[in-house]
Chains A and B, each alone.
Chain A
Amino acid sequence: MKYICLGYIEPGKFAGMTEDEQHAMLDECFEYDDHLRANGHFAAGEALQPPETALTLYWRNGKVATTDGPYAETKEQLGGILVLEARDMNHAVQLISQHPGVKYGPFEIRPAADLNEMIRESKERRRRSTER
Chain B
Amino acid sequence: MLEGKTYLGGSTLAARMHTNAASFRMRRPLESLASAPRETIHNESIAATFVKLIRDDRFARVVVMSERSTEQIRELLDSLYRADSGRILATLIRLLGDFDLAEEAMHEAFAAALSLWPGSGVPDNPPPWLISTARFKAIDSLRRRARLNASQDELARHIEAQWNSPERSNEEDSVEDDRLRLVFTCCHPTLPPEARVALTLREVCGLTTEEIAKAFLITPRTLAQRIVRAKAKIRDTPIRYEVPSSQELPERLDAVLQVIYLVFNEGYSAAAGAEVTRAELTGEAIRLGRLLSELLPEPEVLGLLSLMLLQDSRQAARTSPAGELVLLENQDRSLWNREKIAEGVALVEKALKSHRFGSYTLQAAIAAVHAEAESAAITDWRQIVALYNRLVRIQSSPVIELNRAVAIAMRDGPDVGLALIDTVLAHGELADYYLAHSARADMCRRLGRTAEARSSYEKALALTQQEPERKFLQEQIRQLK
Contacts and interface: CB of A to CB of B under 8 A. Distances in A.
Interface of A: 1-2, 28, 31-32, 35, 38-41, 43, 85-91, 93-95, 97-98, 100, 111, 114, 116
Contacts of B227: 90
A19 B104 CA distance: 33
Given A1-B210, A39-B32, A86-B31, A31 B103 contact: no
A122 B30 CA distance: 31
B104 A40 contact: no
A41 B32 contact: yes
A18 to B, nearest CB: 17
B35 A89 contact: no
A40 B32 contact: yes
Contacts of A93: 224, 228
Given A31-B144, A93-B224, A94-B103, A88 B32 contact: no
Given A39-B107, A88-B202, A88-B220, 10 more contacts: A1-B8, A1-B208, A1-B210, A40-B35, A89-B208, A91-B103, A91-B107, A94-B100, A95-B104, A98-B104
Contacts of B221: 89
B463 interface: no
Given A40-B32, A40-B33, A89-B221, A35 B202 contact: no
SS of B interface (majority):
helix
Q: How large is the interface on B (under 10, 10 to 19, 20 to 34, 35 or more residues)?
A: 20 to 34
Interface string B216-259: 00001101100110000000000000000000000000000000
A128 B211 CA distance: 36
22 contacts: A1-B8, A1-B208, A28-B147, A28-B148, A35-B141, A39-B32, A40-B30, A41-B32, A85-B35, A87-B31, A87-B208, A88-B28, A89-B208, A89-B223, A90-B209, A90-B228, A91-B103, A93-B224, A98-B104, A98-B141, A100-B148, A111-B220
B383 to A, nearest CB: 47
